[in-house]
């Protein structure tokens, strides 16, 4: 019998229809209950994807289903979702294997009902949300491989039963929450033999690290930094031989780094800064040939650097600052470390000269050897370090500053140069051949403090068009403060205090472009982006990582500090142009005349110290409009009349006003019992003016009201530094730049805290 073509085609067609119907049902049709669960989830968040409307939820954005129409994937990271995780919705999606809702603004907690019903879950990523509460007693599924709950607001201890089902777990992160209790380091003893990543950092875990990690035979990354861990580094961590990263900074771990660490042959990152580790560095550390980042700053390590370290040819960063290490570093052969970009050996007991072998580490960008006992001179070979950007060699016994500067000025990439506290008693480099100056073209920070340098400010400084920070305090520099200083386009932080400068306050300084408010020139300089290779230290509060990690200086408070010199004449009215100034420190000079009313234009001022001068007249009542003022001192001048009444000025101690016999009123003990009628009226007027708004302050008022002023006192900065420093005896590097800056920052922070 012959099959008719027509029939054949018809059959084929029907078959095709049937088949495609079946497949489409299998692949596309989402179960009704799943759809309503998703819609219930969507109704609880503010911005569900726009195409979550059609019948078939398996084709919605972020959704995938299995053959049977069960939703298996819900992937909506960074979708701006705001709202609650509701157990009645997500918890019904019981076939979910992949849940990724990271980087949203989800609220609520991981309710046990919701969580445990997701018992097929393999990947769970809820990082970067606003979730809180404690963890449920257990992970939901033995299939779970990845759990990322980092950067939320979870708290409480991690229940010991949490990992009972975690036999397939490979990656677990709870960093950046507020978990407490013990780090569950026994996690691999009974479960989780496949763990590769464990991240407990930035929480409030405390206590010892219990043994157990040694059983994590696959562990590659272990992080628990920035907690409150104490005790020893557990010995069995050295049994986890696949470890590539150990990061436990910012804790209170003590004890030695065991020689057994050489068994961790894959180790690339050893990050233990700010702990209390002691003893010597393992002699065979150099056998760890994959080491890249070694950060052990702020511990109590002692002894010499193991020569084997110079075999770690992959080293990129070696930071061993603030320990008690010693030995002649010029004997070490750094020349094989041709990846080395950052070397920080600050504040140790190293001796010898600048290691010549360092000149062959061509990748070097940052060298800090500050605060050791090094001698000798800087050699011209340093110019072979073409990428060198950050050089800090202060507080050693180097000599020949002129030679050093002449060499370094050709260092094209140099951004920050700190040579303080060496070169004692030498002259400011000002050779004739430095006049046609074309060097230091990228220099942003120059710090040459506490060196008793003599001579005048050299003219070549006026060519440093990128200079932002100039610190020359604690020298014996003479002559006037040159007017060209006011032409440096990026300069915003000047400290010339404790020198022998004479002459008047240069009016030109009041035109510093970075300090003058120019509404139309909003971003003449890219003052936010530059990040230095190493953090600057702001002083002894190094346990506060906000200070420790700051390698950006553009946000430092703009300051002019000319205190402890011999500046004469008036405070020029032009200072009122420096509207972006945060600190004006002029104490212990020979300034006379009045306190210009116009100082009240400096609306950003936080520190104003005019003490120990010969200022006369009254305190302008307009100063009360300086609402950011945190430090104020006009003591030891010849000021007179009542202290203007304002919550601002009365919040300072009497010591800020003392030493002005004719000054009266709170906070001074002497009352203004025979008020000068004239002054009183003028003050009233001024106070009225203030009520109208801070912006039209009475600088146009009868300027003769403005009389006087004040003299000196101890430096605000100095005393703060010394008080705090003694609490950290080991931190002997007190007279550096960063201390000064730290004070300014602290001042600002305290000020912010104080404001209602």
Residues near ligand NAG (CB under 6 A) = 33, 36-37, 40, 51, 54, 59-61, 77, 88-89, 92, 100, 102, 123, 125, 142-143, 146, 148, 151, 167-168, 176, 204, 206, 211, 214, 228, 230, 235-236, 238-239, 260, 263, 286, 302, 307-308, 311, 324, 326, 349, 377, 400, 403, 406-407, 520
> Could you tell me the smallest distance in angstroms from the CB atom of residue 489 to ligand NAG?
17
In 134-227, beta strands by DSSP E: 146-148, 153-156, 171-173, 178-179, 197-199, 206-207, 221-223
> Could you tell me the smallest distance in angstroms from the CB atom of residue 426 to ligand NAG?
10
SS3 annotation, 249-284: CCCEEEECCCHHHHHCCCCCEEECCCCEEEEECCCC
d(CA 409, CA 609): 35
ω into 663 cis (within 30 of 0): no
d(CA 196, CA 169): 9
545 or 667: whose CB is closer to ligand NAG? 545
282 or 708: whose CB is closer to ligand NAG? 282
> Could you tell me the smallest distance in angstroms from the CB atom of residue 74 to ligand NAG?
11
Identify the residue whose tokens are 């046609």.
436
Q: Is-contact 733 533, C-beta < 8 A? A: no
Buried b (16+ CB within 10 A) or exposed e, 587-600: bbbebbbbbbbbbb
228 C-beta neighbours (distance < 10 Å), count: 13
What tokens appear for 150 in the block? 């980092």
> Could you tell me the smallest distance in angstroms from the CB atom of residue 36 to ligand NAG?
5
Q: Is-contact 709 587, C-beta < 8 A? A: no
Alpha carbon separation from 573 to 493, 510, 672, 742 (Å, rounded): 20, 9, 29, 29
185 or 239: whose CB is closer to ligand NAG? 239
> Could you tell me the smallest distance in angstroms from the CB atom of residue 538 to ligand NAG?
20
> Could you tell me the smallest distance in angstroms from the CB atom of residue 611 to ligand NAG?
36
> Could you tell me the smallest distance in angstroms from the CB atom of residue 61 to ligand NAG?
4
> Could you tell me the smallest distance in angstroms from the CB atom of residue 706 to ligand NAG?
28
Which of 656, 638, 546 is CA-nearest to residue 594? 638
289 or 645: whose CB is closer to ligand NAG? 289
Identify the residue whose tokens are 């008020």.
675
d(CA 479, CA 482): 8
Q: Is-contact 181 206, C-beta < 8 A? A: yes
Q: Is-contact 404 378, C-beta < 8 A? A: yes
First to last CA, the chain: 99
> Could you tell me the smallest distance in angstroms from the CB atom of residue 103 to ligand NAG?
7
> Could you tell me the smallest distance in angstroms from the CB atom of residue 519 to ligand NAG?
6
> Could you tell me the smallest distance in angstroms from the CB atom of residue 390 to ligand NAG?
21
Closest-CB residue for ligand NAG? 403
d(CA 326, CA 302): 7
325 or 643: whose CB is closer to ligand NAG? 325
d(CA 637, CA 640): 9
178 or 687: whose CB is closer to ligand NAG? 178
Give the alpha-carbon dihedral of 407, 410, 414, 417, to 10 degrees: 30
Cα 612 to its chain centre, rounded Å, is 36
> Could you tell me the smallest distance in angstroms from the CB atom of residue 495 to ligand NAG?
27
104 or 598: whose CB is closer to ligand NAG? 104
184 or 583: whose CB is closer to ligand NAG? 184
Diameter of the chain measured on Cα atoms: 134
239 or 601: whose CB is closer to ligand NAG? 239
> Could you tell me the smallest distance in angstroms from the CB atom of residue 354 to ligand NAG?
12
SS3 annotation, 681-723: HHHHHHHHHHHCCHHHCCCCCCCCCCCCCCCCCCCHHHHHHHH
Angle at 387 between CA 286 and CA 385, to 5 degrees: 70
709 or 733: whose CB is closer to ligand NAG? 733
58 or 471: whose CB is closer to ligand NAG? 58
208 or 441: whose CB is closer to ligand NAG? 208
213 or 471: whose CB is closer to ligand NAG? 213
User: What are the backbone dihedrals phi and psi of residue 375, each rounded to the nearest 5 degrees, phi first?
Assistant: -125, 175
């Amino acid at each position: 019998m012959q099959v008719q073509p027509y029939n054949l085609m018809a059959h084929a067609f029907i078959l095709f229809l049937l088949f495609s119907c079946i497949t489409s049902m299998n692949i596309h049709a989402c179960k009704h209950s799943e759809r309503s669960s998703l819609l219930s989830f969507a109704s609880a968040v503010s911005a569900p994807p726009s195409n979550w409307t059609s019948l078939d939820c398996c084709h919605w954005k972020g959704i995938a289903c299995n053959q049977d129409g069960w939703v298996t994937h819900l992937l909506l990271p960074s979708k701006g979702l705001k709202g609650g995780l509701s157990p009645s919705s997500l918890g019904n999606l019981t076939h979910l294997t992949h849940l990724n809702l990271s980087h949203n603004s989800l609220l609520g907690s991981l309710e046990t009902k919701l969580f445990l019903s997701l018992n097929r879950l393999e990947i769970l990523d809820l990082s970067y949300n606003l979730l809180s509460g404690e963890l449920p007693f257990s992970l939901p599924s033995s299939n779970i491989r990845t759990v990322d709950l980092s950067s939320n607001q979870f708290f409480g201890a991690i229940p010991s039963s949490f990992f009972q089902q975690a036999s397939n777990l490979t990656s677990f992160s709870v960093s950046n929450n507020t978990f407490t209790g013990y780090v569950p380091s026994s996690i691999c003893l009974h479960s989780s033999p496949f763990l590769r990543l464990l991240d407990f950092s930035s929480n409030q875990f405390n206590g010892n690290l219990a043994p157990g990690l040694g059983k994590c035979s696959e562990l590659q990354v272990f992080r628990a930094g920035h907690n409150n861990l104490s005790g020893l580094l557990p010995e069995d961590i050295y049994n986890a031989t696949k470890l590539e990263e150990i990061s436990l900074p910012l804790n209170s771990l003590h004890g030695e780094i065991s020689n057994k660490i050489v068994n961790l042959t894959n180790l690339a990152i050893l990050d233990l800064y700010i702990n209390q580790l002691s003893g010597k560095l393992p002699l065979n550390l150099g056998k760890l040939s994959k080491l890249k980042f070694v950060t052990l700053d702020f511990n109590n390590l002692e002894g010499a650097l193991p020569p084997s370290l110079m075999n770690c040819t992959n080293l990129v960063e070696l930071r061993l600052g603030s320990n008690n290490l010693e030995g002649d570093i010029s004997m070490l052969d750094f020349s094989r470390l041709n990846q080395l970009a950052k070397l920080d050996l600050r504040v140790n007991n190293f001796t010898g000269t600048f290691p010549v072998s360092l000149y062959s580490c061509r990748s070097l960008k940052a060298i800090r050897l500050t605060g050791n006992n090094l001698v000798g001179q800087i050699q011209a070979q340093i110019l072979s370090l073409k990428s060198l950007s950050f050089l800090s060699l202060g507080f050693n016994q180097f000599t020949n500053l002129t030679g050093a500067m002449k060499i370094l000025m050709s260092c094209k990439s140099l951004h920050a140069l700190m040579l303080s506290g060496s070169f004692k008693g030498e002259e400011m480099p000002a050779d004739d051949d430095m006049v046609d100056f074309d060097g230091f073209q990228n220099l942003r920070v120059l710090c040459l403090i506490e060196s008793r340098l003599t001579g005048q400010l050299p003219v070549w400084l006026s060519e440093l068009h990128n200079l932002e920070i100039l610190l020359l305090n604690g020298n014996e520099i003479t002559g006037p403060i040159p007017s060209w200083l006011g032409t440096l386009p990026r300069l915003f932080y000047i400290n010339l205090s404790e020198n022998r400068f004479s002459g008047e306050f240069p009016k030109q300084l009041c035109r510093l472009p970075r300090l003058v408010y120019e509404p139309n020139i909003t971003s003449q300089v890219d003052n936010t982006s530059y990040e230095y290779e190493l953090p600057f230290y702001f002083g002894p509060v190094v346990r506060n990582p906000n200070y420790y990690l700051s390698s950006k200086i553009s946000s430092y408070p703009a300051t002019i500090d000319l205190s402890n010199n011999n500046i004469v004449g008036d405070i020029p009215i032009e200072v009122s142009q420096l509207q972006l100034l945060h600190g004006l420190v002029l104490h212990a000079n020979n300034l006379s005349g009045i306190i210009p009313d116009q100082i009240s234009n400096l609306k950003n001022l936080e520190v104003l110290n005019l003490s120990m001068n010969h200022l006369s007249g009254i305190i302008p009542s307009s100063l009360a409009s300086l609402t950011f003022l945190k430090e104020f001192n006009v003591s030891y001048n010849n000021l007179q009349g009542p202290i203007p009444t304002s919550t601002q000025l009365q919040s300072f101690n009497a010591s800020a006003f003392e030493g002005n016999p004719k000054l009266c009123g709170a906070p001074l003990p002497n009352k203004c019992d025979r008020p000068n009628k004239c002054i009183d009226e003028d003050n009233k007027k001024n106070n009225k003016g203030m009520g109208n708004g801070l912006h039209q302050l009475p600088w146009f008022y009868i300027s003769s009201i403005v009389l006087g002023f004040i003299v000196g006192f101890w430096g605000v900065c100095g005393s703060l530094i010394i008080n705090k420093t003694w609490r950290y005896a080991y931190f002997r590097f007190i007279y550096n730049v960063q201390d000064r800056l730290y004070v300014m920052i602290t001042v600002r922070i305290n000020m912010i805290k104080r404001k209602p």
